[in-house]
Structure 1
């Protein structure tokens, strides 16, 4: 029978963390979903790890790409063979909350028509070297709400790509497969650019008006030594991002983006701008704010504010750029960073304050025992 949902786990040479990810997925009681592990030609013991897990759980399907693919290529390969009416993608160092998919599937089964569902994400940092595991962010429980996708997508363009992560994509959201099929029918494939989650987040609003935010976490984000997510916050991990971009070969970023800057600086804006080009009916009349974009690039650490100022003349040759506007958005981002740090410091960790488990499967078990606070 066709499963209601496909949980896709693209992976490459992270068997150590994949063991824990699979443990959280197989701990779900429901039988109405499949676990699709798409192995991008790993050279470690990934196949053995998945095979061992599948011996005790027939929900697991192991796929091997047969050739080394880019991230977008592996996502596309896995999606083509997934069978579910809904799709959720998680990373090979991410996790499913205890009972998270069970509750989601009960919700989806009761719907009269397919509907996008999203949820707030906790962020867990795996141990790296001598550094122990830590809680990077605990999302509070919030009331269920409905997000206006089209309005949000247009606002993200006006902000120069900032807050793209507040839109649902197949990565850590449940997306009806029919919507993804419409993107493929329109553009030839579902995943474009070097950032498949960013592109799909900006493309989905062309075919959907609303998404339901459940307010409670279903899956969560893990960041390990080799992950791009950790590379965004640790400069020493940028080598992973450089290697990741190189796998796209002679990929060309959007023609309005500046050359001569770190490639990482163009990744997210490129994905947003590509979606703007491919779906003009959604973004017609909405101007992408390049000055705001550069402030966001600095916040992510891909360039410093000083580097942007010194490169202002070259940047302005590629697209509209205003130093005063850049400065205003940079100040806004700095205030947001300070606010986030204060909120994180004030978040009660309960029993996790003493020690954070060293694997994400043990972390979610401990987290499930902790009462989650609601925002004031």
Structure 2
């Protein structure tokens, strides 16, 4: 029977970590372990973990405060055997997740899996208008994918990191981690963005993996989520963004780039780091000018252009590339609004949204426990769309 290792790096998030741990302990599978890597938390993290008194939980505290990547490396070093995944400290597994994952691995005869996640907006998430909201992907497809083909699609921005075999929202056999460590002087991570980096290096060494459009975990968006803070441009999150960058000095951003928080730049950075470690397989085509052009487009879409244009200009100079910026503010405004409309429609037409207040749910553990019954509330895409429209009307 496979052993599954759920690794939870954490720092000062005991208020969500408690519910994440509760979701893991409710998993209906006999052979798994939870590894909590506490990055010198100053809140009640240690007390929360110890209060469970469960032998399946292994608690480790880092010897000093580390950046996110270094903490992930520390946590990963505690896994000895079996399959490994990294779970956010505001995320959750469903009770039947490991049973389903184990069955999919058996049926596909693979030792790596990735999946789409459901998303839960915590009541404390002040970045969003509608809080305490659960979204569940409607698709239920399962497919076998080829690692190197998907890697090329990622580098060409036709796929997202979440489509790869990665450690976040995925399980891989620990032997792949060791294979990469053997190539890199005993370390696995070499990027400030460890989740995206894991998608690139694992796709480089894994031939086949199974991908499930059916959700097998829930990604939580809380007020302290790094990703949620990094994509905000408002001043009230500037301090949190600055702290993230300051604590990540052990893994500096690649010297040929600047830290611009859009996918083309993040993928570019992870690719360069992996390329320098000779992990990227032969034959992968990479186009720096294309990546810079797409970075500009993403900055326009996300309304980051004024904030990050000097950084984009520096990237162009460092790489001897042409920086193609829009000449008219009207074009920027139209591109931004068009992107928002398309993204909004795509999201609300492909996911079932539920106000958790209506079900007495106010944390991700309860959302995970009710997930399977909630996903059965809709049986057709039109029923889902109608429900989403009704939810939006009530919110306005």
CA pair 136-229 structure 1, distance change in 2 beyond 3 A: farther
Of the structure 1 ranges 65-74 and 342-351, higher mean CA displacement relative to structure 2 is found in: 342-351
What residue in structure 2 maps to residue 86 of structure 1?
Answer: 83
Q: How far 1:223 sits from its partner (Å)?
A: 1.3
TM-score normalised to the size of structure 2?
Answer: 0.80
Given the superposition, is the C-alpha separation of residues 227 and 373 from structure 1 closer, same or farther in structure 2, using an over 3 Å criterion?
farther
- 1:366 maps to which residue? 370
Tell me by how many angstroms 1:307 deviates: 5.5
My pick for the range that moved more, 353-362 or 65-74, is 353-362
Query: Is residue 114 of structure 2 the alignment partner of residue 118 of structure 1?
Result: yes
Query: Which of 339, 343, 357 matches 1:340?
Result: 343
Task: Specify the alignment match of 1:234 in structure 2.
Answer: 232
Change beyond 3 A, Cα 1:76–1:31: same
Secondary structure of 1:146's counterpart equals strand
Q: What is the CA–CA distance in structure 2 between the aligned matches of 1:74 and 1:203, rounded to whole Å?
A: 18
Worse-superposed segment, 44-53 or 113-122: 113-122
Give the secondary-structure state (helix, strand or coil) at the position aligned to 1:127. Answer: coil
Question: How far is 1:134 from its partner?
Answer: 3.2
> What is the Cα deviation at residue 177 of structure 1?
0.8
Residues 138 and 355 from structure 1, CA distance in 2 versus in 1: closer, same or farther, beyond 3 angstroms?
same
2:195 is aligned to: 197
1:357 aligns with 361
Change over 3 Å in CA distance of 1:122–1:151 after alignment to 2: same
CA deviation vs aligned residue, 1:24-83 (integer Å, no higher than 9, x gap): 100012121101111111111111111111x2x321111111211111111111111123
Distance 1:151 1:34, change over 3 A: same
CA shift at 1:356, angstroms?
7.4
d(CA) in 2 for partners of 1:315, 1:213: 34
Q: Which residue of 1 aligns with 2:393?
A: none
**Greater displacement, 307-316 / 163-172:** 307-316
1:141/1:373 contact within 8 Å kept:
no
Partner of 1:171: 168
Cα distance between partner residues in 2 of 1:192 and 1:298: 29
Moved more, 325-334 or 84-93: 325-334
Alpha-carbon distance in structure 1 between the residues aligned to 2:335 and 2:154: 15
Report how far residue 162 of structure 1 moved. 6.9
CA offset at residue 179 of structure 1? 0.8
Please give the secondary structure, in 1, of the residue aligned with 2:170. Answer: coil
Structure 1 position 129, deviation (Å): 6.8
Counterpart position of 1:296: 298
Is the CA contact 1:88–1:173 (under 8 Å) kept in the aligned structure 2? yes
Give per-residue Cα distances to partners, 1:93-134, cap 9 Å, x unaligned. Answer: 0001231123223444x3695521111111111123777633
Change (3 A) 1:170 1:270: same
Kindly state the Cα deviation for residue 7 of structure 1 after the two structures are TM-superposed.
0.5
Aligned residues: 366
Cα RMSD (Å): 3.3
**Which residue does 1:38 correspond to in 2?**
37
Could you tell me how far apart the structure 2 residues matched to 1:268 and 1:281 are?
Answer: 16
Structure 1 range deviating more: 236-245 or 15-24: 236-245
Cα pair distance change 1:60/1:226, threshold 3 Å: same
Structure 1 length normalisation: TM-score?
0.84
Q: 1:321 to 1:353 in 2, by over 3 A?
A: farther
| Structure 1 segment 150-299 matched on structure 2, within 5 A | 150-159=148-157, 163-188=160-185, 189-235=187-233, 236-249=236-249, 251-258=251-258, 264=261, 267-278=266-277, 279-282=279-282, 284-288=284-288, 289-299=291-301
Displacement after TM superposition at 1:3 (Å): 6.3
